[in-house]
């Protein structure tokens, strides 16, 4: 038994006297499941291309932070003023006070569990699954954030900044968008440079009738960082959920998204942009379930893979029996920038209905030589031409980000990671 999955460790660390009974049961079930399954190996389909063997020697003990202020100052400097309301978590623990605004309530998960645990029952741990790493989070999380947004909220986009400062963290987030609420939420996962940290994060989102959420989730770890994220989404009638996953940096960045369109007329859009360099590994696993009729889902992931990096896309759309008027379209496109880069892509539809319009497709290729020649034949340097074509391959995804200053920062970060990115600063404007 590896240190990471030491059953006793999980059991001890995962016991909180203050937990309500339903949470104790949830934690016990999650730890038992994790201990039984062990670390996932290549034999598990969803982990076939992503090795977590190296985590076997890591400790599960969460990093303790005496004061998060230094980490917050570092992250504030990095992100700049982006016109959002920022909420900071260091190692999964909220730092600072949250002012309440009309239509928005923000509270720490630990406080909510203490003061009003009933408001979490039936949601926390019920929207996202608790297998493997999500299960470790369920067993071990100590704190996190609870956000409730109602239709009165008209304020700034919310930016939840997670900073990993130490070896292991278990951020947990619950977002409730009440009927007809409408909000943009950005989650950025950062890790302090020069550390080998493992961030095991779970975000659960519930959209009530007519609610709308634009949810940008950025994985921007350091060279030694591992991010194992799980995102669960539950959608009621006529709600609109838009996820944009951006991955740039981190030794291993993996996100699992499970979106369940439980009410009729829901809309679910999953977009993603990844750029993997060096020996980075980035993986997206998505599952959209059309459990009711007249749902529309779109999915578009575009990636750039350079050096010896490895990208994985595994997308499943399930259309349940008896549903009508479904539209489901899924795409994944990859641009290989070196001979040693690797992509595994697996778009997949499971359809149990005949009243629908659906499509899926995936491409893996290198820079189109005809496009390259066209630019060069107009006098543009080969390197400059390559960076134009590389950037334009993914820019449509970034251009859709609604929070302007955040979009600009992410584009600037992409350019800083691309060879000859400086040459195309004007193109990116």
Chain residues binding another protein by CB under 8 A are 368-371, 373-382, 384-385, 388-389, 391-393, 395-396, 426-427
DSSP H helices in 141-283:
none
Which residue in 196, 165, 188 sits closest to 70, CA to CA?
A: 165
CB of 329 to another protein, least distance (A): 18
CB of 426 to another protein, least distance (A): 6
CB closer to another protein, 141 vs 393: 393
CB closer to another protein, 77 vs 426: 426
Which residue in 287, 341, 329, 304 sits closest to 46, CA to CA?
A: 287
User: How many other CB atoms sit within 10 Å of the CB of residue 345?
Assistant: 20
Spatial CB neighbours of 146, under 8 Å, sequence gap ≥ 6: 105, 106, 107, 108, 109, 112, 119, 120, 173, 174, 176
CB of 424 to another protein, least distance (A): 8
CB closer to another protein, 279 vs 392: 392
CB of 285 to another protein, least distance (A): 27
Question: In the numeric block, which tokens belong to residue 9?
Answer: 């460790």
Percent helix, percent strand, percent coil in the chain, to nearest 5: 25, 40, 35
Query: What totals of helices (H) and strands (E) does the chain contain, helices first?
Result: 8, 20
Spatial CB neighbours of 404, under 8 Å, sequence gap ≥ 6: 83
CB closer to another protein, 45 vs 382: 382
CB closer to another protein, 99 vs 377: 377
CB of 366 to another protein, least distance (A): 13
CB closer to another protein, 113 vs 335: 335
**Are 19 and 28 spatial neighbours (Cβ–Cβ below 8 Å)?**
no
Which residue in 142, 135, 129 sits closest to 34, CA to CA?
A: 135
CB of 378 to another protein, least distance (A): 4
CB closer to another protein, 194 vs 379: 379
Rounded CA separation 117/107 (Å)? 12
CB of 398 to another protein, least distance (A): 10
CB of 400 to another protein, least distance (A): 12
Using the structure block, give the residue that is written with the tokens 């309530």.
105
Rounded CA separation 257/246 (Å)? 13
CB closer to another protein, 100 vs 368: 368
């Amino acid at each position: 038994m590896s240190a990471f999955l030491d059953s006793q460790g999980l059991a001890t660390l995962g016991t909180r006297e203050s937990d309500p009974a339903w949470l104790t049961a949830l934690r016990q079930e999650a730890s038992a499941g994790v201990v039984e399954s062990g670390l996932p190996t290549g034999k598990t389909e969803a982990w076939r291309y992503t090795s977590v063997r190296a985590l076997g020697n890591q400790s599960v003990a969460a990093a303790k932070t005496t004061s998060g202020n230094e980490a917050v100052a570092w992250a504030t400097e990095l992100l700049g003023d982006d016109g959002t309301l920022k909420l900071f978590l260091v190692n999964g623990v909220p730092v600072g006070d949250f002012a309440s605004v009309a239509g928005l309530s923000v509270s720490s998960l630990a406080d909510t569990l203490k003061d009003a645990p009933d408001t979490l029952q039936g949601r926390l741990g019920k929207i996202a699954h608790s297998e493997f790493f999500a299960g470790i989070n369920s067993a071990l999380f100590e704190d996190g954030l609870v956000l409730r947004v109602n239709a009165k909220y008209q304020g700034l986009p919310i930016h939840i900044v997670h900073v990993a400062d130490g070896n292991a963290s278990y951020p947990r987030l619950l977002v409730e968008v009440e009927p007809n609420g409408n909000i943009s939420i950005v989650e950025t996962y950062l890790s302090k440079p020069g550390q080998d940290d493992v961030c095991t994060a779970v975000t659960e989102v519930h959209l009530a009738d007519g609610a709308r959420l634009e949810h940008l989730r950025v994985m921007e770890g350091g060279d030694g960082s591992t991010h194992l994220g799980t995102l669960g989404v539950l959608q009621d009638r006529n709600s609109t959920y838009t996820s944009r996953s951006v991955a740039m940096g981190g030794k291993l960045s993996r996100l699992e998204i499970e979106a369940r369109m439980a009410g009729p007329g829901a809309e679910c859009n999953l977009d993603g942009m990844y750029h993997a360099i060096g020996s980075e590994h980035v993986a997206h696993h998505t599952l959209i379930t059309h459990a009711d009729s007249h749902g529309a889902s779109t999915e578009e992931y575009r990636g750039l893979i350079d050096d010896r990096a490895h990208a994985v896309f595994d997308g499943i759309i399930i259309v349940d029996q008896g549903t009508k008027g479904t539209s489901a379209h899924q795409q994944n496109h990859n641009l290989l920038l070196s001979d040693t880069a690797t992509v595994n892509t697996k778009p997949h539809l499971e359809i149990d209905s005949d009243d629908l319009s659906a499509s899926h497709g995936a491409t893996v290729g290198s820079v189109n030589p005809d496009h390259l020649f066209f630019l060069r034949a107009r006098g543009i340097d080969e390197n400059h031409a390559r960076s134009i074509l590389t950037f334009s391959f993914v820019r449509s995804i970034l251009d859709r980000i609604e929070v302007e200053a955040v979009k600009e920062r992410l584009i600037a970060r992409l350019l800083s990671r691309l060879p000859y990115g400086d040459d195309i600063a004007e193109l990116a404007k």
